[in-house]
């Protein structure tokens, strides 16, 4: 088996970035702006989202740079009416078709979907179900955790939100890494949330002259500052696997999944890489973001 980058390069490295921010135009509405770029293209996507359904009520796309078919931007408006969640990618593909540039628009839309659910709009009725704690920081963090799970259906989607993690709030010095501005924003608030992501791949040669892909995937935003890196040999073997979280939603718990990353060492990546990385860094024992950051890299390879 052999792997290679699926993107043509004129130099021995690759870099892709995604930047986004969210405004609050009204009650139950979010305005999401995001842009993705690499050496071949630059796109901007703009959504208006209705909460709590997270339904896209307006969608627009603009090609800032590149030579892809401009009609894709016109077709992108058809994403209106889709909801973030299961079946979203298929909906985008059905609107765009398979012409050159459609995959890049799809990747941008996936990032828009990921960032779009980072701001909540709790109602007073919802908040009333969770009386505020006058206790210590871990108890305040536990209340925020309960709200997260209830509002977004996050129970058992990752290590932090698994049922068993509730006991950690009483056993550790857990603190919440975000404030009420992300759950009770006011109409008119600007840039209430921001996110910057980048994927970098550098082509190197090992001592035997074989190609090594040194990969790093990073996400920085109002809640997170996490990264994962690993090297891939030309025959798909993972080495030098590491990850780190400097800013996290729940300090004292979210660090734990990073301890699993070194277990990627020696893994032979196959066409089933989604299941492979879900097992090692994702799932109910892992971290959704570490999984997503890894898959962002692997989708750039032909295996």
201-226 residue pLDDT tens: 999 988 777 889 999 999 999 999 99
Amino acid 133: pLDDT? 74
Round the average pLDDT of the chain to a whole number and report it: 94
Amino acid 110: pLDDT? 97
Amino acid 209: pLDDT? 74
Structure tokens at 286: 């892992």
Confidence of residue 9 (pLDDT cuts 50, 70, 90): confident
Amino acid 181: pLDDT? 84
pLDDT digits (tens, 9 = 90+) for 22-46: 999 999 999 999 999 999 999 999 9
- How much of the chain, in percent, has pLDDT values that exceed 70? 99
Q: Which CATH class is domain 28-119?
A: alpha beta
Alpha helices by DSSP H, listed for the chain, are 71-76, 88-96, 102-116, 124-127, 137-152, 168-171, 273-281, 288-298
Amino acid 166: pLDDT? 96
DSSP per-residue codes, 224-249: -EEEEEEEEETT-BEEEEEEEEEE-S
Question: Distance (Å, rounded) from C-alpha 244 to C-alpha 257?
Answer: 10
pLDDT digits (tens, 9 = 90+) for 62-115: 999 998 988 999 999 999 999 999 999 999 999 999 899 999 999 999 999 999
Question: Distance (Å, rounded) from C-alpha 31 to C-alpha 23?
Answer: 5
pLDDT digits (tens, 9 = 90+) for 119-153: 999 999 999 999 887 778 899 999 999 999 999 99
Sign of torsion over alpha carbons 162, 166, 172, 175: positive
Amino acid 206: pLDDT? 80
Question: Distance (Å, rounded) from C-alpha 61 to C-alpha 43?
Answer: 7
Amino acid 200: pLDDT? 98
Degrees (nearest 5) of the Cα angle 118, 116, 95? Answer: 155
Please compute the mean of the pLDDT values over residues 47-64 and round it to a whole number.
97
Residue 1 confidence (pLDDT) above 70: no
| CB 154, CB 160: distance < 8 Å | no
Best CA proximity match to 126, nearest among 144, 151, 101: 151
């Amino acid at each position: 088996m052999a792997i290679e980058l699926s993107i043509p390069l004129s130099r021995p490295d690759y870099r892709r970035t995604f930047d986004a921010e969210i405004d609050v135009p009204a009650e139950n509405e979010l305005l999401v702006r995001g842009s993705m770029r690499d050496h071949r293209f630059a796109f901007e996507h703009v959504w208006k989202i209705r909460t709590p359904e997270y339904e896209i009520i307006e969608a627009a796309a603009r090609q800032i740079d590149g030579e892809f078919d401009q009609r894709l931007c016109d077709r992108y408006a058809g994403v209106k009416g889709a909801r973030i969640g299961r079946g979203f990618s298929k909906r985008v593909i059905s609107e765009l078709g398979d012409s050159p540039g459609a995959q890049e628009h799809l990747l941008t839309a996936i990032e828009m979907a990921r960032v779009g659910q980072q701001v909540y709009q709790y109602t007073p009725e919802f908040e009333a179900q969770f009386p505020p704690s006058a206790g210590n920081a871990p108890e305040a963090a536990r209340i925020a955790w309960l709200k997260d799970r209830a509002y977004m259906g996050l129970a058992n989607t990752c290590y932090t939100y698994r049922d068993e993690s509730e006991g950690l709030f009483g056993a550790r010095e857990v603190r919440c890494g975000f404030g009420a501005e992300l759950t009770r924003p006011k109409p008119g608030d600007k840039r209430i949330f921001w996110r910057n992501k980048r994927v970098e791949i550098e082509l190197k040669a090992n001592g035997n002259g074989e190609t090594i892909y040194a990969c790093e995937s990073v996400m920085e935003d109002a809640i997170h500052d996490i990264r994962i890196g690993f090297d891939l040999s030309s025959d798909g073997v993972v080495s030098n696997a590491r990850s780190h979280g400097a800013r996290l939603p729940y300090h004292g718990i979210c660090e734990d999944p990073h301890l699993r990353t070194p277990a990627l060492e020696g893994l032979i990546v196959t066409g089933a890489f989604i299941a492979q990385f879900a097992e090692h860094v994702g799932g109910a024992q892992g971290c959704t973001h570490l999984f997503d950051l890894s898959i962002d890299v692997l989708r750039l390879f032909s295996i």
